[in-house]
Structure 1
């Protein structure tokens, strides 16, 4: 970690004074770094710091709060330090506002397509974002089907059944909007009653309900959150389960059988 801290300082042309790890480093090292010129910054590595920087910039262009990218190369990303001394329980309304801002992002040229300009990863799990023309194709090919060779055979068979039904369960061509892609409380910085920044994105363009669904995997947004953002369309319960299933499958592959019940629950909620 000291090497990462020194590298981050060097990217800014400064010397290292001190550092300590920040919470949330399950799939990457994240450090608060104190520089010898008095500044403090966040330095992290990860699967692709350059791609993460591009995602943060894209989110920032919508007006959503994100940390400024101060420097980046293939080994490290240096970010503005943002206050994070608050509790999400006091900021749900502001988070709804922030997510709505992020969702104003659209693919270049206003094209009706789903994906991102390159692939990414969550830890050791690759995330393919190749463009598709319909949303069920994207979710089938890029988010569910990619796991078939990495899960037990009985689970793979359930997933194959789900895949065949996706065109009937998901909208064919919803408005593609910019998604955070890995939205949960740990990736939302808050101070007082305001969101200070969205972090650790896994961006792509897709159905807005994905972020709303994944936010509910590890958190429980109150009714006021949906009132501020907008109430999901009819039948969203099944779609939410299908979108949450991707998060559960990623965690199953990263952390093992502890997450098998979560996968089973979302399959059951989706009717499979």
Structure 2
């Protein structure tokens, strides 16, 4: 951890005074550093720091809150230390505004300028003009063969029905891609930053479904976000399946029951 802290301090041209481990990162090491001149910053390791830096810049460019990138190289990302003296329970309305702002940025198609990986799981972001095909071929389908055979067969059945269950061409919104409460920084009653992104362009409901996977946004979030298209509740488990499958592959069979439940909610 000292090596990571020293690398971060060097990247922003400072002398390390103190480093503290930041808990919560499952796939990266994260430290908060204080430099001899009093500056503070967050330093993060990872397989693709430049990719994450570009995503944070893309989020910030929409007007949605994100930490500023202070420095980056092939192994280390240094970002702004943001205030976090609040609770999301008091900031749902502000988060709704932030996510609506993020989704207001539109892409040319579905996907992202590069593919990347989350741990050992590759995430295929090749551009697509067809949203149900993107979700079938680049989100749900790739997990077949890596999970229990009975779950794989049910995913096959669901994939075959996606053209009738998902809109063909929703607006390709800029997605955070991993929007859960742990990736939302709050100070008092407002959101200071959306962190740890896995950005791509897709149906905005994907972020809303992810936000509802491990918790329930307050009513004020949806009021501030804006009107949802009819059928969101039917599409929600389909969109939640991707992060559930990612958790199953990354963290083990404890998530198999979640995948099973979401498949049942999706009708397979």
TM category, shorter: over 0.9
Q: CA deviation at 1:149?
A: 1.8
Report the equivalent of 1:63: 63
Q: Cα offset for 1:47?
A: 2.7
253, 256, 260: which one pairs with 1:257?
Answer: 253
Tell me by how many angstroms 1:152 deviates: 1.1
For 1:99 and 1:22, how far apart are their aligned partners in 2?
A: 25
Deviation at 1:163, TM superposition (A): 0.7
CA deviations 1:11-54 (Å, max 9, x no partner) are: 11111111111121111111101111210100001231000000
Q: Hey, what does 1:243 align to over in structure 2?
A: 239
- 1:148 is aligned, of 128, 138, 144, to 144
- When structure 1 is superposed on structure 2, of 13-22 and 229-238 the one drifting more is 229-238
Contact 1:179/1:211 (8 A) holds in 2: yes
* Most deviating of 13-22 and 198-207: 13-22
Matching residue of 1:116: 112
Normalised by the length of structure 1, the TM-score is: 0.97
CA contact (8 A) 1:239 1:270 kept: yes
Q: CA deviation at 1:232?
A: 2.0
Give me the whole-angstrom Cα distance separating, in 2, the residues matched to 1:206 and 1:71: 28
Which ranges of structure 1 fall in alignment gaps of 5 or more residues?
Answer: none
Match of 1:180 among 169, 176, 179: 176
Structure 2 SS opposite 1:20: strand
Q: Which residue of 2 aligns with 1:14?
A: 14
Which structure 2 residues correspond to residues 179-198 of structure 1 after superposition, within 5 A? 179-198=175-194
Of the candidates 144, 167, 170, which is equivalent to residue 171 of structure 1?
Answer: 167
Query: Partners of 2:242 and 2:94 in 1: how far apart?
Result: 26
Aligned residue pairs total 268
- CA shift, 1:209, in A, is 0.5
Matches within 5 A, 1:4-83: 4-83=4-83
Determine the C-alpha separation between the residues in 1 that align with 2:267 and 2:233: 11
3-state SS, counterpart of residue 54 of structure 1: helix
Name the counterpart of 2:90.
90
1:208 maps to which residue?
Answer: 204
Deviation per CA, 1:244-272, whole angstroms, max 9, x where unpaired? 00010000001111101110111111111
- Contact 1:47/1:120 (<8 A) preserved: no
Q: Would you say the 8 A contact 1:252–1:259 is kept in 2?
A: yes
Distance 1:68 1:257 in 2: 37
CA contact (8 A) 1:46 1:123 kept: no
Q: Any idea what SS the aligned residue of 2:262 has?
A: helix
Q: Deviations over 1:154-179 (max 9, x none)?
A: 11111111111111110000011100
1:219 to 210, 215, 222: 215
| Cα contact 2:89–2:218 (8 A) shared by 1 | no
Kindly provide the CA deviation profile for residues 102-144 of structure 1, in whole angstroms up to 9, marking residues without a partner as x: 111122xxx3x10000012222221111111110111011110
Shift of 1:214: 0.4
TM-score (norm 2): 0.98
Deviation digits for residues 68-105 of structure 1 (CA, Å, limit 9, x no counterpart): 00000110000000011211000000000000111111
